Amino acid sequence: MTLLSSDQFPSCHVFKSCLPFLFVALLFQFQTGFSALITSLKNHPGHPQHRRPMFQTNQSTCALFVGTWVRDDSYPLYQYSNCPIIDAEFNCQLYGRPDSDYLKYRWQPLNCVLPRFDGLVFLSKMRGKNVMFVGDSLGRNQWESLICMISASTPKMQTQIIRGDPFSTFRFLEYGLSISFYRAPYLVDIDVVQGTRILKLEGIDENGNAWRMADVLVFNTGHWWTHKGSLQGWDLIASGGKYYKDMDRLVAMEKGLRTWSNWVDTYVDRTRTRVFFQSISPTHYDPSEWGTGATATVTKNCYGETAPMTGTTYPGTYPDQMRVVDEVIREMHVPTYLLDITMLSELRKDGHPSIYSGDLSPTQRANPDRTADCSHWCLPGLPDTWNQLFYTVLFY
């Protein structure tokens, strides 16, 4: 890394008991799949501990994040035409995506059945509360999804939305519930000094002041730590009283996450606020990770993918960032629940906007090899499952 001196910078529901024979059958199924999964993880090169958060369970002992995608024609939970909050970049059906099978899949954990999301239950249990998503555009993806899911249960309820940067909020007025999004792609602060953007790895007070009154906090970060060139969100990094043009990105992310974890441990009142961290959302830009032979050579990214992968594991690489996330969360004092959506999302190569994004021009859509968005997710789509899991952990 390059160092600068200071003067150089400018049915059977989830958690109810079932009949004994059903329990035995499920247990056998889970043990068989779980053993195979453990074997696969042990043999995964270079990442011996990255996947352990997958086996985190809530009080039900259900391994929520280990399972498969199954077809369910009762999905999606809402229609894009009935949810005007969806941003153009996520609104795949509105912008011409021709297939719809990707909307018809439900996440099935190996040893339980998730409760179906009920917006009225969410509203009644969260009456008078403030739920806040904090992070990057993947957090906004999930924020919009949750609003759509709740709104589908209460289509005539009076609501209010205030859009801003970095803070936006959506209110269900009858229930006094606010669901907010605070944009902070690195979680830590960025200061602008004489036109120079400085990423402060030990600074978080400016952002953190906006989070203190939330009853539920859902954090995410990841993608922006890897961006370079025109996509890079900073000009200099500040750490330890010094300024850097660049440094190892995993090292920088860990420093930033430890600043965030210290803020949570210092300022979050565990008696009134619940804290969640959304694990790394995967991308699908390398078809060699999921395809072989002709399939891998025909496409250069997620464009044209219309179905999820089968099975419980993804053959491609697992994000190095998850090791950092795992280590930091393990050392926190305030209970922070890891919503480990990484593996189940890796299986959904079909869920991205690809060229069906309102952010792309017709010329850009004509060149999917260069412009396909294989990072964000369509709405309706995968983030609805993230919120179904969030709902399950929150209430069951």
| pLDDT given at position 30 | 42
Please give the pLDDT value at position 62: 85
Domain ranges of the chain: 63-291+299-394
Query: How do residues 66-79 score in pLDDT, each as one tens digit?
Result: 999 999 999 999 99
Residue 298: predicted pLDDT: 64
For residues 350-362, give the mean pLDDT: 96
| Mean pLDDT across 101-118 | 95
14 vs 11: CA distance, rounded Å? 9
What pLDDT is stored for residue 9 in this prediction? 40
CB-based contacts of 339, cutoff 8 Å, min separation 6: 218, 276, 277, 278, 279, 386, 389, 390, 393
**Per-residue pLDDT tens digits for 233-262:** 999 999 999 999 999 999 999 999 999 999
The full length of the chain comes to 396
Taking the C-alpha atoms of residue 100 and residue 160, their distance in angstroms, rounded to an integer, is 30
Counting Cα atoms < 13 Å in the Cβ hemisphere of 233 gives 19
Mean pLDDT of 266-292: 93
pLDDT of 22 above 80: no
Q: Please give the radius of gyration of the chain, using alpha carbons only, rounded to the nearest integer.
A: 21
- CB 247, CB 1: distance < 8 Å: yes
Name, in order, each residue with C-beta under 8 angstroms of 113's C-beta and a sequence gap of 6 or more.
Answer: 11, 12, 13, 14
Distance separating alpha carbons of residues 111 and 162, to the nearest angstrom: 41
Q: Is-contact 135 217, C-beta < 8 A?
A: no
Give residue for tokens 């709740």: 150
Question: Residue 315 — very low, low, confident or very high, per pLDDT cuts 50/70/90?
Answer: confident
Q: Would you say 140 and 94 are in contact if contact means Cβ atoms under 8 Å apart?
A: no
pLDDT at position 60 is 53
**Which pLDDT score is estimated for 87?**
97
Check if the beta carbon of residue 290 is closer than 8 Å to that of residue 309: yes
Give the type of residue at 392. T
Q: Which tokens sit at 158?
A: 């009076």
Q: Percent of the chain having pLDDT more than 90?
A: 77
Q: Name which of 259, 239, 121 is nearest 186 in CA terms.
A: 259
**DSSP assignment of 145-174:** HHHHHHHHH-TT--EEEE--SSEEEEEEGG
Burial (CB < 10 A; 0-12, 13-18, 19+), residue 57, is middle
pTM for the whole structure: 0.84
SS3 state at 37: helix
pLDDT in tens, 175-230: 999 999 999 999 999 999 999 999 999 999 999 999 999 999 999 999 999 999 99
- For the stretch 31-71, pLDDT in tens is 444 443 433 333 333 333 333 333 334 445 789 999 999 99
Q: Distance (Å, rounded) from C-alpha 144 to C-alpha 331? A: 31
Tokens of residue 222, six digits: 């990841």
Instruction: Dump pLDDT digits (tens) for 110-161.
Output: 989 899 999 999 999 999 999 999 999 999 999 999 999 999 999 889 999 9
Between 305-319, 336-350, 368-382, the lowest mean confidence (pLDDT) is in 305-319
Active centre residues (catalytic): 137, 373, 376
Share of the chain above pLDDT 70, in %: 83
263 contacts 208 by C-beta, under 8 angstroms: yes
pLDDT at 292: 61
